[in-house]
Amino acid sequence: MKRIFTLFAAALIVGVFHAGAAVNIIPKPTAVTEYEGAWTLPSELTISYSHKTLAPAAGYLEEILAPATGYGIKTKKGTKGDIRLVLTTPSADLDESYTLLSGPDGVTITSASYKGIIHGISTLRQLLPYQIECKSLLRGVEWKVPAVKVEDKPSYEWRGLMLDPVRHFYSIEETKNLLDLMALYKFSKFHWHLIDSQAWRIEIKKYPLLTSKGAWRDPANEYIDKACEQSAIDGRNPSMKLPKEHMREIDGKVMYGGYYSQEDIREIVEYAAVRGIDVVPEIDMPGHNWMATQCYPWLSCGHDGTDPLCLGSDEVIQFAKDVFKEVFELFPYGYAEIGGDEVSRIKWQNCPLCQERIRKENLGGLEELQSWFTKEMEKYFNANGRRLIGWDEILEGGVSPTAIVNWWQGYHADVVQRSTAGGNEVICCPTTYCYFDYPQNNETMRTLYEGAVVPEDLSEEQHKLVKGMQGNIWGEFIPSEARMHYMAFPRAIALAEKAWTEKTDQNWDCFIARMEEQLLRLSTMKVAYRPLVEQ
């Protein structure tokens, strides 16, 4: 920690980050101009919004300001207020740029889109003292905003975090807490990994066993659960224990799990949307479906209740479409994930139905069978107004050029080259930098910040096909919210700046100096982050 204070002081002395030094905003804005003076929030505060679509944003800002200040805050439609939210072009959804201007008469945030307004709110939040994050009244704090003009826009559209509540479950409240952190640092996409072999976490009304049975497991018989409990004992680390609130007794046996009802899903989607975040559901197919086949054995080859799905069965194809039909009704965003990773295809070799599908469709083998399935599902996605995203294995056997590729296999650096050469858009989340369940040391965050998350050997045209970056929080050995915070933060903040700020304006010393106040902010939000330096 002493090193961080030294860097902060050095940055101020030599002017490493010029006018932005006093404001300490992360991600670093495009342009910051500071003026003399500051604006003090009045105890009777009005937030105005110029367009009816900004009413949720005004309410969100009220939720941020009210608890710690204790001030009387009202929101109203119009252009006169202490804090003014001004929408210039209500239809410009893809323009996330914004301008924030604070001065003697208050603060004005202007943008062409709802998301831009939310980003301006996140910047205002960071211009206020870090104590604004407190959820109860604080006395003796001067709630001042420095006189400043911030002009800002993101480098990439896709600035994502993925959460895996399958291996270990996170409640609605814990998920909302993560979304609050994402909004603070201007993340735009929440990739929600909702099914896998260990559990099924989303209610599908047509197939009720998927959650009544598939959302629960015996922790005494599950390797990852036993490993976490043992780690809690060996390391005397309570954050590695399975939370008791996710246990219940079923038929006399203590079971671990939980699932999200369709009402829960709608609640999270709405909560994220208010914060400018799109929720992207992942229903992994055709592999990682052991739990689904346990619930409905007819989904598997030979009806033996094992992985993967039987792609020769028309009933199974209909199951996949039925599931996604309900998913599309819950998630309004125009993208959905089909997974497609790590499929053990050997069972298809000896399955009469799968072999018949290969002959009937004139396919070249098992890889092309999976490719056929992905393309069939993409047609269904497109017919329902969605674009398909899959892990980079969907390239095997051939893929439609309209599918989007999640590059995760960091040791296969040619994936981005091959994808973009074929016209496919790519989201970069390689294991080498972006797997937040991987172990950390004191250099991990710097390696991420300075590393080539987006490969550097792309042509200009190929680079245009890179949608952005994403950090993945896989849950095998992250059984609690506290452990999730420790593994993801503050390195997720480094990724946030890497995906938002122009590469030519990124500087590690500047970033780590600005992190100083962010750690105080995280502590106030009760985030159990990893210290920057651990002994």
Provide the token pair at 319: 């199951």
Answer positive or negative: Cα dihedral of 318, 323, 326, 329.
negative
pLDDT at position 512, please?
96
pLDDT(334) > 70 = yes
> What pLDDT does residue 91 have?
66
For the cut 50, the answer to whether the pLDDT of residue 470 exceeds it is yes
Does the pLDDT at position 122 exceed 90? yes
- Please, what CATH class does the domain formed by 158-524 belong to? alpha beta
The amino acid that residue 312 corresponds to is: G
The one-character DSSP state at 129 is -
**Res 16 pLDDT > 90:** no
> Is pLDDT at 395 greater than 60 in this prediction?
yes
Q: List the one residue out of 427, 432, 421 whose CA is nearest residue 390.
A: 427
Q: Report the mean per-residue pLDDT for the chain.
A: 94
| Close Cβ partners of 138 (under 8 Å, ≥ 6 residues apart) | 68, 69, 131
* Nearest one of 481, 476, 475, 478 to 528, comparing CA atoms: 481
Give the pLDDT confidence of 162-202 residue by residue, as tens digits: 999 999 999 999 999 999 999 999 999 999 999 999 999 99
* 22 confidence band (pLDDT: 50, 70, 90): low
Range 458-478 average pLDDT: 97
Q: How far apart, in whole angstroms, are the C-alpha atoms of residue 27 and residue 19?
A: 15
The average pLDDT across 44-55 equals 97
CATH 3.20.20.80 in the chain: give the residue spans: 158-524
Residue 249: its pLDDT value, please? 94
Q: How far apart are CA 60 and CA 40, in angstroms?
A: 20
DSSP string across 281-338 = EE---SSS-HHHHHH-GGGBGGG-S-SSB-TT-HHHHHHHHHHHHHHHHH--SSEEEE
The pLDDT of residue 89 is 81
The pLDDT-based confidence of 222 (bands split at 50, 70, 90) is very high
- pLDDT tens-place string over residues 66-76: 999 999 999 99
Q: What does the pLDDT look like over 319-331, one tens digit per residue?
A: 999 999 999 999 9
Q: Which two tokens stand for residue 379?
A: 């047609």
CA distance 264 to 261: 5
Kindly state which CATH superfamily the domain 31-152 is placed in.
Chitobiase/beta-hexosaminidase domain 2-like (3.30.379.10)
For residue 170, CA distances in Å to 3, 11, 98, 199, 240 come to 35, 39, 33, 13, 14
Strands (E), 30-118: 31-40, 44-49, 72-77, 83-87, 98-103, 106-111
Instruction: In whole angstroms, give the CA distance from residue 530 to residue 491.
Output: 9
pTM: 0.94
User: Residue with structure tokens 């797997």?
Assistant: 435
| Percent of the chain scoring above 90 in pLDDT | 92
Q: Does residue 209 have a pLDDT over 90? A: yes
User: CATH 3.30.379.10 in the chain, residues?
Assistant: 31-152
pLDDT digit string, tens, across residues 511-525? 999 998 899 999 999
